[in-house]
Structure 1
Amino acid sequence: MRLSFSALETYKQCPLKFKFREIDKIKVPQTKERFFGSVIHDVLRMLHDTNRLVPPTEEEMLQYFGQKWKPEVFVDKQEEPIAFSLGVKILKNYYAKNYPGQFQIVDLEARFEAPISDGAETHIIIGIIDRIDKLEDGSFEIIDYKTSKRMPGQKIVDNNLQLVVYHLGAANRWPTILNGGRPVKLSLYYLQHGEKLSTFRAAKQLEEAKEKILLTIDKIKVDISSGKFEALPGPLCDWCSYQKYCPLFKHKFKEKTPADDEIKRLAEEYFALKEQSDKNNKRLAEIKSIIGRYYDEKGVERIFSDSGYLTRSSKKTFIYDAGLLRDVLEPIGRWKEVLTIDNSKLKNVIVSLSAVKKRLIEGAKKVGKETKSIMATKK
């Protein structure tokens, strides 16, 4: 399988979005966020262009930014000048801290392939590295620019999978990185903050990352085989460009019919009944608590009223000594009949396992039973 790292990340975010983008190849308009990041990356590539004998001045850099800017990308005309000003601020701050003549740049927007073997099969992860520098000690530094507002903590950077893939891609391009055990500095440059967060990866961490990637690829292959890609709702859904194709959102975009009007009326009724039901359940819980204390105080287990009576009953849950139980059942061949897997406990165990073990357990998973429920979310 040949995949980009961004495709892997898209799948983990939402398998259905992966299908729309990577398999169905549905074209969607460029978002203003993607445009902003793209134009900033383009300007920084020009700024560090190794074919130039003399680095660009700050004025030339900002002029190039202005030429690349497209105001029409922004629907909100008040938002456009704010975004433009932010871009100017980012670039001026970057130029002040990173004069282009002071770096030994090996490559810019370097395309890479990172092969990952899985038995007889080899998967290729592809991508583009924003910048690769040669440091004074002869080692490489891989730099990825980020235009996001949020800057993560160092622990998140130390576990960033994207940087591992970049490391593998660079090692495939220059085998002495792995063969010679040469360290590679991996950096995320957060442009809005003017901060560069760096980390390194040991050989063991690289192997663990490969297993994580193979686990994701396994899931993709299962979904391709079944033709079923799950839509995973999350905080990024409101900005997704595939809403009109997604079963969680496309109802908003479909042409309305009389049947849709009736469904909308029923949905409103559902909300009203659900709200009343929640109020009733809350009051029932309060009453149960009060009556429960009365049972205890008066030493009774049944209360009478004009409408009938309320009886309190006790339900016990038992646990068994596993060792004693096994001694009784195993000799008669019945021990395996009572062994069951507790999914909640299994989830807790999986968290602490290696990527290799997680992958093996994932291969043993299958759908036992599927039920559907309705969840009401008010605006």
Structure 2
Amino acid sequence: MTAEAAWQLPELSVPCLRVQDMQAAEDQQTATATPATTVRRPALSPSRASDFKQCPLLYRFRAVDKLPEVPTKAQLRGTLVHSVLERLFALPQPDRVPERAKELLAPAWAELSGERPEWAQLFAAEDAGQVADWLSGAEKLLDRYFALEDPRRLSPEACELHVEIELDSGVRLRGYVDRLDVAPTGELRVVDYKTGAAPREIGEAKALFQMKFYAVVLWRLRGVVPRQLKLMYLTDGQSLAYTPDEPELRRFERTLEAIWQAILRAGKTGDFRPNPGRLCDWCSHQALCPSFGGTPPEYPGWPEPDPGVETLLDRAD
């Protein structure tokens, strides 16, 4: 049996749970198990941890000030493709074909843009062809996905899985896994879809940071080190697979604890310093950054209850 075949489960037909279904069940359970006044503990997400590593001031702008950011059309397309793949795995296995996936694009976009009307405003109202061309680009990403694997041969345990754990040190980790595969032998594979091209050194390190974050959470939740962390890059149709081990995850866990302690120290004083670098060209907040002659808004104080929230756009990148 090949390494890939170990994850193919044609004998199972249970569709992957969609995040809406899982979240609804979780919300109902929380409502019956805890009082309405329960406040979620502050937590660290992979995106916000990566922000702080990259630039503490970027972390502050996003997690503390919660400044709005206008997404690019490429980011929205990534969000849309993630939504379609989530819906695709909710279908019975025989129905997970390219044509069916493409049929899901328009309704998925209608739902997403209905929930966030400002996203639709990125397209000129008088040019209906813009949306059609944009959706055509999403179709190409789906074609490349199907070139990488056959979803009819897979039965993931969950899609867009919310995971959360509090480490012994008191650090709370929280995030969403694109897809979790479980082999008949019990081995775990964490799958993440990237709608960009396979990255260079900086991007690859950032992507692996995110995947190791999920690996730590799943290891602590289930007592099993994930057998494989798999990144699927849909722009150029490449995959990157990585196998972590327990000593590595222990070291990475200590890294996350150190990041959280540094965030807490900065949170007490408001001293979130900029760290200018090559990624500044893509930052939405240059006008407020001292490194570019700007002035940040007055520090509002440490946020409650939860500075670790990830957005749909975070999870689609």
Question: If the length of structure 1 is used for normalisation, what is the TM-score?
Answer: 0.57
Aligned pair in 2 of structure 1 residues 74, 11: CA closer, same or farther (>3 Å)? Answer: farther
- CA positional deviation for 1:67: 3.5
3-state SS of the aligned residue for 1:117? coil
- Counterparts of 1:227-376 in structure 2, within 5 Å, are 227-249=270-292
Distance 1:159 1:83 in 2: 25
- Counterparts of 1:77-116 in structure 2, within 5 Å, are 83-116=134-167
Match of 2:122 among 54, 62, 73: 73
| Residue 215 (structure 1) aligns with | 258
Deviating more after overlay: 57-66 vs 204-213:
57-66
Aligned pair in 2 of structure 1 residues 85, 92: CA closer, same or farther (>3 Å)? Answer: same
Match of 1:64 among 104, 108, 118: 104
**Which residue identity lines up with residue 268 of structure 2 in the other structure?**
S
- Identify unmatched segments of 5+ residues in structure 2: 1-41, 114-119, 296-317
**Which residue identity lines up with residue 107 of structure 1 in the other structure?**
A
| Residue 132 (structure 1) aligns with | 180
3-state SS of the aligned residue for 1:105? coil
| Residue 203 (structure 1) aligns with | 246
**Which residue identity lines up with residue 73 of structure 1 in the other structure?**
L
**Which residue identity lines up with residue 16 of structure 1 in the other structure?**
L
Distance 2:284 2:228 in 1: 35
Distance 2:159 2:293 in 1: 40
Aligned pair in 2 of structure 1 residues 82, 232: CA closer, same or farther (>3 Å)? Answer: farther
| Residue 324 (structure 1) aligns with | none
- Counterparts of 1:144-155 in structure 2, within 5 Å, are 144-152=192-200
| Residue 142 (structure 1) aligns with | 190
3-state SS of the aligned residue for 1:162? helix
> In 1, are the aligned partners of 2:177 and 2:214 still within 8 Å (CA)?
yes
Question: If the length of structure 2 is used for normalisation, what is the TM-score?
Answer: 0.67
Distance 1:92 1:173 in 2: 34
- CA positional deviation for 1:219: 1.9
- CA positional deviation for 1:19: 0.7
| Residue 341 (structure 1) aligns with | none
Distance 1:34 1:158 in 2: 17
For the pair shown, which has the larger CA radius of gyration, 1 or 2?
A: 1
Identity %: 27
Distance 2:272 2:148 in 1: 45
- CA positional deviation for 1:84: 3.6
> In 2, are the aligned partners of 1:114 and 1:169 still within 8 Å (CA)?
yes
> In 2, are the aligned partners of 1:19 and 1:229 still within 8 Å (CA)?
yes
Aligned pair in 2 of structure 1 residues 224, 231: CA closer, same or farther (>3 Å)? Answer: same
The RMSD of aligned alpha carbons is 3.1
3-state SS of the aligned residue for 2:104? helix
